[in-house]
Structure 1
């Protein structure tokens, strides 16, 4: 975020984008500039946009109502002045999140919210569960959920819009129909075009009305930027820092800020087989954990797989020397590294020694040799240039 007072900042995302290019903070890119121009148009339209934060519960009607629940949007219609949102789709590392950050930072909307889509859906499920407990006998939590979300934001900015879970797919149609009916404008980034969401998954036919609904309310813009800037950034960073001292901590702070676009992430909860895996800091596909949180807790292969597939980079603080005395942690660390390696997740870490000296002697030291070899390879430019496998 810029530290300049609001009146000193450029007006809108396009001006801010151009200012950062001129300052050398961003490389000129025609596709990014085109996207910034489209976001600028939406920024102008949205200035002061503040529809009614709530709307009456809708009546049952329509295909979406039949497919996704007992009630649809009924005769409730979006406000006449509701702008069309934007769905920015492109390959990883093309600058989609950066552009949305510029838009969100400058958006002059009284109620606005930027959130990772996975976190939004987790929050929605939690709110539905709580509403059902507080309202026994009532059978439709979607209208009150939409009221709560609308009261928080007339502009919702979603990062990494993806749908992999059938329970998410089955509530999205009714929830977004209700949000659009209440005037909520959606801006999203995604690696997947709307027509390809939930593709090949069981039950997708029932999901198609949601895709049609999204395309009705947002413009789809394909970002064909010149390169994978995310991979270029990490290829320019040292990824293994030892010993794990104050200097190493500062290096990890800088790496997280560079890759995640913020000095500090927000807590994130991954749901794995019905259990919660807590990630203390996350932003833009980058997670940060300390070694004890990652390997001292009772996590298993499925948990590490979720981390490796959900995040493209893990920043890991304070890997200690390993041996028979802390082999439980060492075993979990081996499993974590295997998951990261198999999915080409990048690792930036501080440790007490180089990889091949972390576990030098004692029982199971030989078992760690393959892990040490993988940790060395994961520092190479060839590995850092590989695409993440989510």
Structure 2
């Protein structure tokens, strides 16, 4: 999930103006999108864009990796890097953008990431970053059973890929994550890594009320030292504004409906396509074709045509705020397993107020009229109907 778009799709104002805005930084790009009518003007967002613009200027051409004529491979560059206790003195301070859901934090970071003139950069959901970190730690321990500390080589491998890390939805809920974050980020900052993050939670409230939080406090202090905190005080929930203006149930599931779902994805994310989403669930991987900015897209068969269960749907409903679902079929006696999974999926989405935009063979009340679970589906149909109402669409997502 890297936020990449074509110039014209970002600004809606044509390739020449778009290219100029891209090279002018996130503030120029933000103003171009407002001028084109793609964004509504918002003082809080413009202030955040100005702050990101300042960081953009300081980061132009930034690369803390020492170069040498003979250093051609990434392993050579890794082992020539300064030791962990020699932090570069010229590393720009990053930014931690915090605010309520739907205020445009991810959109602003997308503009910053797209324009950042840094040769090695990565934009990723923080949950996915930690999953990847755990996998690398496990692989390193398997390959190096006699060595006790995987953190320095992990930081080396991350820095070999990106000197700028942009994290979406920075949250810490897992004690295992909490225990490695302090040392990992200390090592990354010491190597010159610059971090930009969005979050619904202020740094001082991360991991609040969880067992073992005292051991997590040095990480909070480190974040406050190396990353400036900016509160996005916008009064409008732009995400809810967008979803409330969209039709959410399209019948029948034909070409017109598919185009409507394409438009919904573009409207909600600002991008025509997303990146594959992989969630780790009880040691397994749940893979979906597309995700961007908290909006996932999958087909009915992707989710209900394979043996998934409540844990999978819970992980999905808490990870994304909107699911775009293609091709919900009519259900009957020959599709009892798929119907049961769909019931469980809708329950998870409903309980966590995850919005759904779908194409279907029929209206909810007519999807499942006879079969083993037909009577149970009456509640599901009722929930699907409620989930199309403007009042329900205005409810905040529950993670």
* Alpha-carbon distance in 2 for matches of 1:155, 1:347: 33
TM-score by length of 2: 0.91
* Alpha-carbon distance in 1 for matches of 2:209, 2:201: 13
Aligned to 1:109: 118
Aligned to 2:232: 223
TM-score by length of 1: 0.93
Aligned to 1:349: 358
Aligned to 2:28: 15
Aligned to 2:58: 45
Q: List aligned pairs for 1:171-190, cutoff 5 A.
A: 171-190=180-199
* Alpha-carbon distance in 2 for matches of 1:342, 1:128: 34
Aligned to 2:45: 32
> Given the alignment, which residue of 292, 297, 313 partners 1:288?
297
* Alpha-carbon distance in 2 for matches of 1:173, 1:57: 21
* Alpha-carbon distance in 2 for matches of 1:317, 1:139: 48
CA contact (8 A) 1:260 1:283 kept: yes
Aligned to 2:68: none
Residue 78 of structure 1, CA deviation: 2.1
> Given the alignment, which residue of 313, 317, 321 partners 2:326?
317
* Alpha-carbon distance in 1 for matches of 2:341, 2:82: 50
CA contact (8 A) 1:87 1:220 kept: yes
For residues 13-69 of structure 1, the C-alpha deviation after alignment (integer angstroms, 9 at most, x for no partner) is 11111111111111111111111111011011111111116467998xxxxxxxxxx
* Alpha-carbon distance in 2 for matches of 1:32, 1:55: 41
5+ residue gaps, structure 2, are 9-14, 66-76
- C-alpha spacing 1:28/1:7, structure 2 compared with 1 (3 Å): closer
* Alpha-carbon distance in 2 for matches of 1:354, 1:160: 34
The size of the alignment, in residue pairs, is 375
Tell me whether 1:194 sits opposite 2:199 in the alignment.
no
Aligned to 1:126: 135
Aligned to 2:72: none
Aligned to 1:298: 307
Q: CA RMSD in A?
A: 1.6
5+ residue gaps, structure 1, are 60-72
